[in-house]
């Protein structure tokens, strides 16, 4: 364990420093690169904490004691013990992480977080507890029923669970922290409708609220969310962005994420099975339990799942960047608003983004291409002007010539 933490620290130290590079012709704001390096350090520290806390609970034997108290309060009830154990662990984790999060917030903004932040943290904690009550019993049931193959069944069960979560999140969970209203601007809605009609779909739900522009939900709850700031900005940026989001909406990118989550959980649960049983065999006296089916094994499962997630992250991010790059291509082909995309990214740089980040951010954190890459793409991608066939010509018709 100490070796793993040491390796993570050493790795983070080497690459977090190279968090930014300035080889690009695009210039970052003064201080933007230092802010990125700082945010890389905080990110790496957060990941180390998320491994260190379950490891500490596990190796100190505290996990077994928490399970003992959970079983006592639940009067031995199987479901109650697992759920209370999960709530105890989540509460302990939240308390231990809180000072770090406050410090992070203070380092970035030079002020302590206000009431809104604390309420958001509280709601986040409650949502995690509800999710734990809904889902944590399932792997334990599967371990009890099929000690050898539970990991495959648990990953398979994640498909309907993710499906339900993705349907429920935009309707019941997201509005807890942000208010969303249906798009009121009828002219804009008509423009979006005429754009989507070129892709043979109609009546796409469009909502406005929060800071993010994204597509959330699945099936009947699938919707495009436009960030409030975007609506105040120039028209060409807005139209390009709607084109970009239409790709996520029309080509089912949220459905693809269910398969990606399945693959990551399959790997994570398999490692929990193999590595978890091996660690229990070696350290059961320290852990205070001797079976993976014991609810006291929760921190062990969380530790191994977090580790697998970190290992899968570079691949997950590379896949995300591919999806986003294609959404840019789709948006440009659908709208021809190259200037809109380039200006959108230039604005992001003028707000403090680094034009082209270094390897640490790219490997572990970047879910989109860099602003620099997107600007260069916007400046060069015009197959329609050269008489070439656009990649998404079968999905959407080109815009009418102006």
Applying CB under 5 A, the residues found at the interface with Zn ion are 324, 327
Q: Closest distance between Zn ion and the C-beta of residue 166, in Å?
A: 16
Cα–Cα distance for residue pair 28/15, rounded to 1 Å: 20
DSSP 358-387: -HHHHHHT--S--HHHHHHHHHH--GGGGT
Q: Closest distance between Zn ion and the C-beta of residue 367, in Å?
A: 9
Cα–Cα distance for residue pair 24/357, rounded to 1 Å: 10
Cα–Cα distance for residue pair 264/260, rounded to 1 Å: 6
Q: Closest distance between Zn ion and the C-beta of residue 248, in Å?
A: 6
Cα–Cα distance for residue pair 381/328, rounded to 1 Å: 10
| 142 vs 192 by CB, closer to Zn ion | 192
| Structure tokens that stand for 398 in this block | 């080109």
| 294 vs 324 by CB, closer to Zn ion | 324
Contacts of 83 (CB under 8 A, 6+ apart): 74, 132, 133, 136, 137
| 58 vs 341 by CB, closer to Zn ion | 341
For residue 326, which of 235, 395, 232 has the smallest C-alpha distance? Answer: 395
Q: What's the alpha-carbon Rg for the chain, to the nearest Å? A: 24
Angle between helices 150-168 and 253-287 in degrees, nearest 10: 130
Q: Closest distance between Zn ion and the C-beta of residue 52, in Å?
A: 33
Cβ-proximal residue to Zn ion, closest one: 327
Q: Closest distance between Zn ion and the C-beta of residue 350, in Å?
A: 21
Cα–Cα distance for residue pair 395/246, rounded to 1 Å: 11
Q: Closest distance between Zn ion and the C-beta of residue 244, in Å?
A: 6
| 321 vs 339 by CB, closer to Zn ion | 321
| 58 vs 208 by CB, closer to Zn ion | 208
| 70 vs 195 by CB, closer to Zn ion | 195
């Amino acid at each position: 364990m100490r070796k793993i933490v040491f390796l993570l620290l050493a790795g983070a130290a080497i690459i977090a420093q190279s968090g930014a590079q300035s080889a690009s012709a695009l210039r970052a704001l003064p201080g933007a690169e230092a802010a990125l390096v700082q945010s890389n350090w905080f990110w790496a520290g957060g990941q180390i904490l998320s491994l260190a806390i379950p490891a500490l609970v596990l190796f100190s034997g505290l996990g077994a004691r928490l399970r003992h108290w959970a079983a006592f309060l639940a009067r031995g009830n199987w479901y109650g013990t697992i759920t209370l154990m999960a709530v105890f662990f989540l509460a302990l984790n939240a308390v231990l992480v809180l000072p770090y999060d406050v410090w992070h917030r203070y380092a970035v903004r030079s002020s302590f977080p206000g009431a809104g932040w604390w309420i958001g943290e509280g709601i986040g904690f409650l949502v995690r507890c509800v999710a734990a009550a809904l889902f944590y019993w399932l792997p334990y049931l599967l371990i009890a029923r099929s000690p050898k193959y539970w990991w495959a069944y648990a990953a398979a069960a994640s498909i309907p669970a993710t499906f339900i979560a993705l349907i429920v999140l935009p309707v019941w969970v997201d509005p807890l922290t942000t208010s969303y209203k249906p798009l009121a601007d009828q002219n804009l809605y008509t423009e979006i409708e005429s754009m989507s009609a070129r892709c043979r779909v109609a009546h796409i739900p469009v909502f406005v609220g929060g800071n993010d522009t994204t597509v959330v939900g699945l099936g009947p709850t699938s919707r495009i969310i436009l960030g409030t700031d975007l609506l105040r900005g120039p028209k060409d940026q807005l139209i390009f962005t709607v084109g970009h989001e239409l790709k996520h909406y029309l080509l089912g990118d949220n459905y693809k994420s269910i398969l990606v989550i399945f693959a990551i959980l399959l790997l994570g649960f398999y490692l929990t099975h193999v590595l978890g049983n091996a660690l229990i065999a070696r350290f059961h006296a320290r852990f205070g339990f001797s079976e993976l089916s014991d609810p006291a094994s929760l921190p062990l499962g969380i530790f191994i799942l977090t580790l697998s997630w970190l290992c899968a992250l570079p691949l997950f991010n590379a896949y995300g960047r591919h999806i986003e790059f294609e959404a840019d291509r789709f948006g440009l082909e659908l709208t021809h608003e190259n200037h809109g995309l380039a200006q959108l990214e230039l604005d992001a740089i003028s707000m403090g983004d680094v034009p082209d980040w270094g390897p640490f951010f790219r490997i572990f954190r970047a879910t989109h291409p860099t602003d620099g890459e997107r600007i260069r793409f916007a400046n060069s991608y015009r197959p329609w002007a050269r008489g070439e066939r656009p990649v998404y010509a079968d999905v959407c018709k080109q815009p009418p010539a102006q």
